[in-house]
Amino acid sequence: MISSITNAIRIMNCFSIKSAELGVSELADLLKMNKSTVHHAVKSLYEEGVLIRTKNRKYRLGSKILSWGEVVSYQYQPYFDALPYLNDLVNKTNEVAHLAVEENEDVSYLIKVEPKVPLKIQTSVGSRKPLFCTAVGKVLLSNSFTDNDIYKLELKKITQNTITSHESLIQEMRKIREQDYAIDDQEYEDGLFCISSPVRDFMGEVICAISISGPEVRIKKEKDNYINYVLKIAREISANCDF
């Protein structure tokens, strides 16, 4: 049963804007799975309305997904109230702004706001990244995880600047809690610099984090100003949004 569920999820993850329609053979090639296994999973998804069959005998995601999306949108609605503040942050910095939460020990991006001239940053709404090497992730990590929790994390080296020592990461967490912001200086992606600060609910609990991201050379020139902008917007969201 677990294998069947995993196969179904992997098949659904193959569909995207660029690959909106896929046949069984294409799915089998993408997933490096047996064609009959893929066919069986696709048949089940089709019967449940998750996939629909096109005239050219390929498949695409069905309207059933929309009902799931409606539920997800309802669950995350309070976070979207922060959108005007993120727009303000983008207007002030001309960099990309994100709002993210921690889910299953990963960063999950809920909102992405781009400046008028988009930057090529490897994030999209719903995408996930590690906690330990992103600015938003380190903010969430510093406020939700104990030292013992951090020792359990697998710290993979992604760039030359990635923190791979648990002791160093714990020291970084203490610094973040003291200053109320985190920096990612090319720890996940070469050339990318990010600044993040926590957003709190009325009880003072950290429930998400916001950030700006952009070219390392450009952001470092305005680093102090940008830190102040991010801190200010995070506090405005905390004070005015009903989490």
Classify domain 72-240 by CATH architecture.
2-Layer Sandwich (3.30)
Residue 22 per-residue DSSP state: B
pLDDT tens digits, residue range 143-202? 888 889 999 989 999 999 999 999 999 999 999 999 999 999 999 999 999 999 999 998
pLDDT at 17: 82
Cross-strand pairs, 97: 113, 212
pLDDT at 1 over 70: no
Q: Could you tell me which residue, 230 or 80, shows the higher pLDDT?
A: 230
pLDDT at 19 over 50: yes
For CA atoms 45, 50, 53, 58, the dihedral sign is: negative
CB 241 within 8 A of CB 80: no
Q: Which residue has 């903010």 as its token pair?
A: 139
Cross-strand pairs, 147: none
Closest-CA residue to 181 (of 194, 199, 195, 163):
195
CATH topology of domain 2-62: Arc Repressor Mutant, subunit A (1.10.10)
pLDDT tens digits, residue range 27-79? 999 999 889 999 999 999 999 889 999 988 899 998 888 888 888 878 888 88
Q: What span, in angstroms and rounded, lies between the C-alpha atoms of 38 and 25? A: 8
46 phi and psi angles, rounded to 5 deg: -65, -45
What are the residue boundaries of the structural domains of the chain, listed by start?
2-62, 72-240
pTM above 0.85, yes or no: no
Token pair belonging to 162: 């990635």
pLDDT at 163: 94
CA 2 vs CA 6, 32, 139: distances in Å: 6, 18, 34
